[in-house]
Structure 1
Amino acid sequence: MKIKEIIVVEGKDDTVKIKLAVEADTIETRGSAVDESVIEQVRLAQKTRGVIIFTDPDYPGQRIRNMISEKVPGCRHAFLPKEEAIEKFGRGVGVEHASIESIRRALRDAQYMDEDAAEQITTEDLVEAGLVGGPNSKTRREELGKKLKIGYVNGKQLHKRLIMFQINREQFAAALREILEEESR
């Protein structure tokens, strides 16, 4: 599988794993302190070939994703579920620990975010759905992130992520129905 866009990853180990999974070029941020020279590389890549941001499913990875998205609009985003990115002894989480198939799937499912999308799902909808403030909220958000391919987020970030990916009420309701059906089994 060949990827036209340049993939932004956190480090060398991520690049090695990506290149085992797909034919692609990468830009490494070299940690969470993304300096301006890296941002300039990402800007150039976005203008010439397009960019997929593919960071680890943890707080530093989300921080890097947010910094780049803010400074370089129009990037696509690939997400790995946290459980697919855990090192076999449980000591680390990252793209470098994911299987080849998980990486390929995440890159195939990469999406654009649109922060200017009209609001369709309200925070009240999230509370009513048990995605915020309830006993199973975290688990439900994890499942929702997988089903909608938007990655895991905490309660505060969920609403923003649904809006950015233009998830409409119908998509939201269908994914929620599946989750509730699975819970009832």
Structure 2
Amino acid sequence: MTDTRPKLREVVVVEGLHDKARVDEAVDAEVLILGGDRVSRRTVDLLRRAVQARGAIVLTDPDGAGERIRRRLDQLVPGLLHAHVRKSKAASSRGVGIEHASAEDVRQALIEARGAKPGPVADGSEAPDVFTLDDLVRHRLVHHPDAASRREQLGEWLSIGYGNAKAFLHKLNAYGVTREEFEAAVRRLDG
């Protein structure tokens, strides 16, 4: 019997053992289990080496704790890729988590993983953000009754996950979403 799962070069980082089991169903990849929200020095060192050698994809639960872990890892390990599974696709009667998502949803999220934008430009200054609060206002992603659901849908289509207005704006800029990708997704949403 042949293995039909796609093979990933990158190491996949998950929170727990059940998350690893779901990733193993979805793809053929090395998986690193964090084992909670504390990130040890050893884990940071492993991740830094992995990013340099072959890349690493963070796949945390679509909840507050998962987002905190994701932000912490980004601070400690530059160059990580991020995969997001929509909260509604990772929910069951037992809770919210990657282990509750289908293997297909996990596979798709990993394939669509995005990296953070590069650091400072040659002169040491930060590259300007592509998106501003005006973009969110203009496209009814803030200060609108449907703003939260619109951000949720766009976050899924752009593979950056959900966030409140401030977090969503950060993700648009941090994960390298282009103006063209954003405008196409907004047209799809409004279509």
Tell me whether 1:154 sits opposite 2:169 in the alignment: no
Q: Which stretch has the larger CA shift, 117-126 or 103-112? A: 117-126
Tell me whether 1:51 sits opposite 2:61 in the alignment: no
Cα drift, residue 115 of structure 1: 5.6
Tell me whether 1:30 sits opposite 2:35 in the alignment: yes
TM superposition score normalised by structure 1? 0.91
Mark the runs of 5 or more structure 2 residues left unpaired by the alignment.
1-5, 120-126
Q: Which stretch has the larger CA shift, 136-145 or 45-54? A: 45-54
Partner of 2:17: 12
Cα drift, residue 25 of structure 1: 1.1
Tell me whether 1:70 sits opposite 2:75 in the alignment: yes
Mark the runs of 5 or more structure 1 residues left unpaired by the alignment.
none
Tell me whether 1:98 sits opposite 2:101 in the alignment: yes
CA distance in structure 2 between the partners assigned to 1:107 and 1:172 by the alignment: 20
Letter of the 1:173 counterpart = E
Partner of 2:122: none
Consecutive aligned runs of 4 or more in structure 1 exceeding 6 Å deviation: none
* 1:32–1:60 Cα contact (<8 Å) kept: yes
CA distance in structure 2 between the partners assigned to 1:20 and 1:147 by the alignment: 23
Question: How many pairs does the alignment contain?
Answer: 179
Question: Kindly, what percent of the aligned residue pairs are identical?
Answer: 40
What is the root-mean-square deviation of aligned Cα atoms in Å?
1.4
Aligned 1:112-127 pairs, distance under 5 A: 112-114=115-117, 116=119, 117-127=127-137
Cα drift, residue 4 of structure 1: 1.3
Partner of 1:21: 26
Letter of the 1:107 counterpart = L
TM superposition score normalised by structure 2? 0.88
Partner of 1:130: 140
